[in-house]
């Protein structure tokens, strides 16, 4: 069994509840969405080679043919993960990792047995795959896509089922907000979340300026979003993409 991947490297988590944590990143290829603000559009198609960092955060990479056998990927990840205290966790990111759930079910259990903590970044659209992967996943960072921000529509029913399947993990939600976010859609979404997921932390992520997105969301707008969500949800924070502020890709 093989994985379609893009890169393996050691860096700093830049988003969400664990921003600032040292992680190894396994970036997989392929996505079932096409978000307007996507900052990894190149991962939608699998490249011919996987870029693998030679030593943690060293910045030198070598190439391995893609797709890559699960066993070989496990060896690479164990090597770069190194001593347990160096990295907080292994981030499985993309693209959308759950598109490759069968390969992940083979890759992750032996890594966990060696003490690797598994952190999954997902767009939250594949609840059945999440059900299968949840027993071998420690932390789940799930996107809640707003149509007026992302330009894609994910039905609430799909997101609700996904949240139920991920609940056994350390789950948090991440919602990107932009200058184009519609306040009515935002309010409808947080009030809908409040009915069954008020206890799950929500991170509001102001979109990072790039391409057609020219500037930061004005702070006063971000504050109104935090305040409105905090009226109905227990834990709401706003955290920008820290890795971009640090000059990392
Ligand atoms: S789900 Fe993530 S990787 Fe896929 S298009 Fe949207 S932002 Fe990009």
Q: For 110-122, write each residue's pLDDT tens digit.
A: 999 999 999 999 9
| Residue 93 CA to ligand 1 centre (angstroms) | 10
Which of the four pLDDT bands, split at 50, 70 and 90, describes residue 217? confident
| Residue 114 CA to ligand 1 centre (angstroms) | 30
| Two tokens, residue 55 | 């030593």
Residue pLDDT, tens place only, 156-207: 999 999 999 999 999 999 999 998 899 999 999 999 999 999 999 999 999 8
Residues with CB under 6 A from ligand 1: 31, 33-35, 38, 40, 94-96, 123
Please say if the pLDDT value at position 62 is more than 80.
yes
- Report percent pLDDT > 90 for the chain: 81
* pLDDT for the residue numbered 140: 98
* pLDDT for the residue numbered 84: 65
Ligand 1 atom nearest 94 alpha carbon: 3
Supply the residue whose CA is at minimum distance from atom 8 of ligand 1: 38
**Taking residues 69-87, what's their average pLDDT?**
91
For residues 189 and 93, give the distance between their C-alpha atoms in angstroms, rounded to a whole number.
25
Tell me if 152 sits within 8 A of 120, measured CB to CB.
no
69 vs 210: which has the higher pLDDT:
69
What domain range includes position 94? 2-245
Which residue among 25, 31, 210 is best mutated to probe the pocket of ligand 1, counting the most ligand atoms within 8 A of its Cβ?
31
* pLDDT for the residue numbered 249: 61
Residue pLDDT, tens place only, 41-53: 888 889 999 999 9
Which residue among 15, 29, 35 is best mutated to probe the pocket of ligand 1, counting the most ligand atoms within 8 A of its Cβ?
35
For residues 12 and 21, give the distance between their C-alpha atoms in angstroms, rounded to a whole number.
6
Task: Measure Cα distances from 177 to 41, 140, 174, 213 in Å.
Answer: 19, 20, 10, 12
Could you tell me the pTM of the whole model? 0.95
Supply the residue whose CA is at minimum distance from atom 5 of ligand 1: 34
Q: How many separate domains does the chain show? A: 1
* pLDDT for the residue numbered 221: 92
* pLDDT for the residue numbered 215: 76
CATH of the domain at 60: 3.20.20.70
Give 5's strand partners.
28
**Cα dihedral 99/101/104/105 (nearest 10):** 180
| Residue 118 CA to ligand 1 centre (angstroms) | 20
Strand 89-93 and strand 118-122: the pairing is parallel
């Amino acid at each position: 069994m093989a994985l379609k991947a893009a890169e393996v490297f050691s860096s700093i988590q830049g988003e969400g509840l664990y921003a600032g944590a040292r992680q190894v990143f396994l970036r997989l290829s392929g996505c079932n969405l096409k978000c307007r603000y996507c900052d990894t559009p190149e991962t939608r198609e699998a490249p011919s080679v996987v870029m693998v960092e030679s030593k943690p955060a060293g910045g030198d990479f070598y190439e391995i043919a893609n797709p890559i056998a699960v066993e070989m990927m496990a060896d690479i990840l164990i090597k770069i993960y190194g001593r347990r205290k160096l990295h907080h966790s292994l981030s499985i990111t993309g693209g959308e990792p759950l598109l490759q759930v069968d390969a992940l079910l083979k890759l992750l259990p032996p890594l966990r047995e060696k003490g690797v903590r598994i952190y999954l970044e997902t767009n939250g659209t594949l609840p059945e795959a999440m059900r299968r992967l949840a027993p071998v996943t420690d932390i789940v960072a799930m996107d809640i896509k707003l149509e007026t921000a992302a330009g894609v529509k994910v039905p609430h029913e799909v997101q609700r089922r996904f949240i139920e399947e991920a609940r056994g993990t350390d789950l948090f939600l991440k919602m990107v907000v932009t200058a184009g976010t519609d306040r009515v859609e935002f309010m409808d979404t947080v009030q809908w979340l409040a009915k069954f997921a008020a206890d799950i932390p929500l991170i509001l992520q102001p979109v990072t300026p790039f391409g057609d997105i020219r500037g930061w969301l004005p702070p006063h707008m971000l504050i109104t979003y935090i305040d409105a969500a905090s009226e109905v949800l227990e834990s709401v924070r706003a955290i920008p993409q820290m890795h971009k502020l640090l000059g990392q890709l």
